[in-house]
Structure 1
Amino acid sequence: MPGELLVADLDMPSSVYGVHGAAGLTRWRSLAGGKGLRGPYEAVEWACVPPGGLSGEHLHSRTEEVYVLLTGEGEAILNGSPQLVRAGELILTGLGATHGLRNVGNEPLSWLTLEVPAPRTVALARPQRMETMSMQVPDGKAKVVDLGRELDVDPRPVLEGPLRRIRMLQVAPGMSLDLTGRDYEHTVFVLEGRGSAVAESVTVPVRQGTAVTTSGGEDLRLVADAEGLRVVCASFEISLPPLEGGGVR
């Protein structure tokens, strides 16, 4: 059965101070949330910090997370170790890992956040499984991957949850690209260009900064205008039944 199509852009982001205990300003925008999706997913968000800005170091005790770096240069702190990162790279943070991110460049540092509950978190939310699951958070893995070079990344085994692929996709001018909704939900974020996102239920225009998220069972076609489209696409497997009432919150 077709699902919903969630469309958001970067107009009117929120100003947030003190993210993860760090002083300073973060610009933030929610692009999709758990209750709008059929899989047990947490959030798709956009964030941006100015030069010198910081997203504070913190432990992932319940969720797994990917940062898709969109603009700028930064220093990621992964399990206590610093690593220089830049636009076009992914920061993969597994359950039990710590991460933080500082803008060390001269322009805004922005990224997409893809956050999902880890499998043990979903299992612990089901009362019949609690007695068989350990409450101890494992020592987590964290890794930086160059999406701009690899173009198609499987985030496993750093992540164990439903996020299966992260791709950099190019749609040539006047051409189209189809994404199947069978067993998957997709989030597409437009990096460059203009065009349309076409689903069974609706056709919507897209441009730089537009995010389109399918909600299970909905095939999606991306159609590029004369300038073409360059997008990031994250694909989530939804073979497991969702929790009653929506995603884990």
Structure 2
Amino acid sequence: MAIISDAHEGLAKLVGVHGGAGALGWKRLGTGNMMSSAVDSYEIAEMPPGTRAGRHVHSRTEELFFVLSGRAVIGLGDEKVEVGPGDAILTGFHGVQSVDAIGDEPYRMLVIEALPPEIEAGLPEHRPSEEEAVA
């Protein structure tokens, strides 16, 4: 089954994410039950320069960002790292994270939220049928 989702249109505007500053654009491209994986969701996010997602704990999912464009300073625990296009950032289960978009262009990233084994084990099992997977 092929799933096509337009990542360029229809981004929702989210203000003050995790107690941060400014408004970012966000869109869910797909969910884990569309595939045979322990992925919770596939998302695209865009943060204009100066936008901040405040410091928060990942208590439900692990999160992988793949930077498509722009620059940001990512807080991971007590560390701060500057990232740009082509970088991948993993925040593990119970990891602490913040994001500050910097520079002159929007910080745009693909976000994959994965379920850790502790969470996945408590959920009902769902896998796409063979017809769904091949369609």
* Alignment-derived partner of residue 79 in structure 1: 77
Structure 2 distance, partners of 1:19, 1:38, is: 30
Deviation at 1:101, TM superposition (A): 1.0
Give me the whole-angstrom Cα distance separating, in 2, the residues matched to 1:20 and 1:52.
15
Unmatched segments (≥5 aa) in structure 1: 127-200, 202-214, 220-249
The corresponding residue for 2:11 is 13
Instruction: Report the identity percentage.
Output: 30
How many residues are aligned here?
128
1:109-128 CA-partner distances (Å, limit 9, x unpaired): 010100011011112346xx
Q: CA RMSD in A?
A: 2.0
Cα distance in 1 between the residues matched to 2:60 and 2:27 = 21
CA deviations 1:135-165 (Å, max 9, x no partner) are: xxxxxxxxxxxxxxxxxxxxxxxxxxxxxxx
Q: Is the 8 A contact 1:80 1:99 kept in 2?
A: no
* Distance across 1 between alignment mates of 2:13 and 2:72: 20
Deviations 1:199-232 (A, max 9, x none): xx9xxxxxxxxxxxxx7x449xxxxxxxxxxxxx
Q: Which has the higher Rg, Structure 1 or Structure 2? A: 1
| Aligned ranges 1:1-249 → 2 under 5 Å | 4-9=1-6, 10-125=8-123, 217-218=133-134
1:18–1:24 Cα contact (<8 Å) kept:
yes
TM-score of the superposed pair, with normalisation by structure 2 = 0.85
SS at match of 1:83: strand
Work out the CA distance in 2 between the residues paired with 1:45 and 1:101: 16
- How far does residue 71 in structure 1 lie from its aligned partner after superposition? 0.6
Which residue identity is paired with 1:8?
S
- Of Structure 1 and Structure 2, which has the larger fraction of its residues in strand? 1
Scaled by the length of structure 1, the TM-score of the pair is 0.48
Mapped to 2, the partners of 1:18 and 1:35 lie a distance apart of 29
Q: Could you tell me whether the CA contact under 8 Å between 2:39 and 2:112 is conserved in 1?
A: no
Instruction: Note the C-alpha offset of 1:34.
Output: 3.0
2:30 partner amino acid:
A
Is 1:45–1:114's contact at 8 Å kept on the other side of the alignment? yes
Gaps of 5+ in 2: 125-130
| Residues in 1 aligned to 2:89 and 2:95: alpha-carbon distance in whole angstroms | 12
Aligned partners of 2:22 and 2:50 also within 8 Å: no
CA–CA distance in structure 2, aligned partners of residues 29 and 13 of structure 1: 5
Q: Answer 1 or 2: higher relative contact order, Cα 8 Å, separation at least 6.
A: 2
Q: Tell whether the 8 Å contact from 2:60 to 2:119 is kept in structure 1 after alignment.
A: yes
